[in-house]
Amino acid sequence: MKRNTSQSQTLSFVMRLFTIVFCFTAGGFCLFKSGVGQSIEQPAVAALPHSEKSQPLEQPQFKLKSVSDYQVGDRIMAFNHETGQREQKTVTQTFKRQVDHLRILEVEGEDGSTQTIKTTNEHPFWSTAARDYVEAKHLKPGTKLQGANGHFITVKSTRYEPHPEGITVYNVEVKGPHNYFVAANGYRGPPVLAHNTCNASDLPITNLDDFATKNKTIKNLKNATGSFNIRVKNQKQAEELLASARKRIYDNPKITYGGKSGKVGFEVHGVNSSERRVGNNLPHLKIWDWLDGKSLGFDGHIFFDGIP
């Protein structure tokens, strides 16, 4: 699924020991790793008071907070690419999973200070040259990343660190731009802009053959007001699920579930294999609610594993 500067998708990895989330008083979000005796927490900047929206981000304006402590409803500082302003956004989902590796990024600020960011291969960061989010595994030495105050953060080195024993990572979904600023634990330089991408294959397959589960899923989709992400067996199930929930969807004839073009229904997105753009790793139905050219605050994906 494609992501651009105005709409992105979900989820990113947060590590728990050596990295930490930068938080303002309202809290924040991010996805970091955690494991017994070897936790890592990747930093993310939390929400700013509205009056400080356009002011420079400096210590002690923000605090560090462990990503594992974030909950649904917490606030995080995100970045609006259309306005060029930082914004307060809300955590809509939290996730936890096992991975078999880390991606170690050594980066340097304009002041010469360095930090180590521990993430995963698929975690995307904003490249100022590409003007897009680029997966960590594709970042090269010399790549310029974006800092919280418009500073450049330069990638100095990158390496793959295997963890065949498995290591726990935490994931979150953030409403809106789906991005945040990260930095290493204890680092005092400008945080780096990253995205909370969605790894759809980590979602469990919902058993729609079970009557109670199916009814509950339909109800959840009908009542969704933020983000809705689910995984089913195939495209037929995905379309049937959406059709079952269409009463709410089409209560207002002006509301469309589909692209910004105004076409009522949905869009089927395949897997985006581009090295530059970060996409979901399963095909899916992409749905939005749009009224008179504006989002009403809902967007979602119904992922499926195959086409019947």
Q: Per-residue pLDDT tens for 65-80? A: 666 777 888 887 788 8
- Walk me through the domains of the chain, giving residue ranges and CATH numbers: 13-198 (2.170.16.10), 211-304 (no CATH)
> Dmax over Cα atoms in the chain, in whole Å?
60
Which of 27-31, 63-67, 102-106, 121-125 has the largest mean confidence?
Answer: 102-106
- pLDDT bin (cut points 50, 70, 90) of residue 296 is low
pLDDT at residue number 270 = 64
Of the candidate ranges 100-114, 134-148, 192-206, 286-300, the one whose mean pLDDT is the lowest: 286-300
pLDDT at residue number 143 = 96
Mean pLDDT of 265-290: 60
Q: Are 201 and 282 in contact (CB under 8 A)?
A: yes
Q: Mean pLDDT across the chain, nearest whole number?
A: 69
Mean pLDDT of 183-195: 75
Helix (H) or strand (E) holding 249: helix 246-249
pLDDT at residue 30 is higher than 80: no
The rounded distance, in Å, linking the Cα atoms of 143 and 150 is 15
Give the dihedral of Cα atoms 3, 221, 32, 162; nearest 10 deg. Answer: -70
pTM for this model (two decimals): 0.62
Q: Are 113 and 151 in contact (CB under 8 A)?
A: no
Q: How many CA atoms lie within 13 A of 30 on its CB side?
A: 40
- pLDDT bin (cut points 50, 70, 90) of residue 63 is low
Per-residue pLDDT tens over the stretch 132-159: 888 899 999 999 999 877 789 999 999 9
pLDDT, greater one: 258 or 235: 235
Q: Encode 150-179: b = buried (16+ Cβ within 10 Å), e = exposed.
A: ebebebeebeeeeeeeebbbbbbbbbbbbb
Per DSSP (E only), the strands in the chain are 13-14, 19-23, 33-34, 63-65, 75-80, 85-108, 114-119, 124-127, 132-135, 144-146, 152-174, 179-184, 192-195, 227-232, 255-256, 267-269, 284-291, 294-304
Closest CA to 203 of 176, 236, 227, 167: 227
